[in-house]
């Protein structure tokens, strides 16, 4: 059974059980008891020990990798810290001047909007032909906007002609011309961001997070 298929009625029972909701009937209570036993059986599965000597191998690897880190030349970097400090000071100064005059709302790091450019219909759900408009606030040395469709990268800013930069805003518009699940992701970091890989959104996000980046995304948009 795939997740896209209609779920088995028991799945709803397990889900309710996992949400700590009370059973709605005696039959549901019986079904729950079966799954409770199954849960216990999973919990009682044997412990699988790693092969003997794993501690030595782990220590060896740790020594090797920490040695590599010590001997590795530090990568050449722009003086981001200093630049950031200067930018922060400038921003603080600007705030002192501007805040008493107007209290503008803090810019949202990622904004996603859909413009109805597709065929008009009574349905409110996004449709093929609608335009996805995404905007990110640039507040770190490295900020990137990526749009994925069904996990696959389909747009990336900066780096494409359709990207627009306006001060601290980076924006992109694209027509959702195929069905699928569209997701906009904003990545930011003090250091260079890892390039997207061929395996798609989840791995890209994990890789970026593991490299210390901050990742923000909006709920995915499903286009049928």
Partner 1 sequence: MHSVAYRILKDKARAEDVMQETLLKAYETIGTLKDPKRLRAWLTTIAHRKSIDLVRADKRSRANHARAAQEPTAHAGAPVESLIAEETKRALEECLEAIPAEKRAAVLARFYAELEYLELAKATDENPDTVRIRVSRAMVDLRECLERKGIKP
Per CB under 8 A, residues contacting partner 1 are: 1, 3, 7-8, 10-12, 14-15, 18-19, 34-35, 37-39, 41-51, 54, 57-58, 61-62, 65, 199-200, 202-203, 205-206, 209-210, 215
Nearest to 143 by CA among 60, 63, 208: 208
Q: Least distance (Å) from partner 1 to the CB of residue 215?
A: 8
Q: 3-state DSSP call for residue 160?
A: coil
Q: Least distance (Å) from partner 1 to the CB of residue 144?
A: 17
**Helix segments in the chain, DSSP class H:** 9-18, 26-43, 54-71, 80-98, 201-210
Side-chain half-sphere of 150: how many Cα atoms within 13 Å?
A: 6
Nearer to partner 1, 104 or 210 (CB): 210
Q: Least distance (Å) from partner 1 to the CB of residue 57?
A: 7
* Alpha carbons 77 and 84: distance in angstroms, whole number: 13
Q: Least distance (Å) from partner 1 to the CB of residue 176?
A: 21
Nearer to partner 1, 1 or 96 (CB): 1
Contact 142, 188 (CB under 8 A): yes
Q: Least distance (Å) from partner 1 to the CB of residue 120?
A: 31
* Residue matched to tokens 């990207």: 163
Nearer to partner 1, 161 or 210 (CB): 210
Nearer to partner 1, 56 or 161 (CB): 56
Contact 204, 93 (CB under 8 A): no
């Amino acid at each position: 059974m795939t997740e896209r298929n209609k779920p088995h009625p028991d799945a709803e029972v397990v889900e309710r059980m996992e949400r700590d909701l009370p059973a709605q009937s005696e039959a549901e209570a019986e079904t729950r008891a079966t799954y409770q036993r199954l849960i216990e059986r999973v919990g009682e599965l044997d412990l699988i020990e790693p092969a003997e000597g794993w501690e030595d191998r782990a220590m060896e690897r740790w020594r090797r990798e920490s040695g590599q880190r010590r001997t590795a030349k530090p990568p050449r970097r722009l003086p981001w810290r200093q630049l950031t400090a200067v930018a922060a000071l400038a921003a603080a100064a600007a705030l002192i001047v501007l805040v008493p005059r107007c209290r503008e709302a803090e810019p949202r790091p990622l904004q996603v909007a859909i413009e109805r450019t597709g065929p008009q219909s009574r349905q409110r759900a996004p449709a093929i032909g609608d335009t996805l408009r995404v905007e990110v606030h640039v507040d770190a040395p490295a900020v990137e906007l990526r749009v994925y469709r069904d996990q696959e990268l389909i747009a990336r800013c900066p780096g494409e002609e359709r990207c627009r930069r306006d001060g601290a805003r980076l924006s992109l518009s694209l027509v959702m011309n195929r069905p699928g699940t569209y997701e906009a992701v904003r990545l930011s970091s003090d250091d260079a961001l890892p390039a997207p890989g061929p395996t798609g959104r989840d791995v890209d996000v994990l890789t970026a997070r593991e490299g210390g980046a901050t990742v923000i995304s909006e709920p995915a948009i499903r286009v049928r």
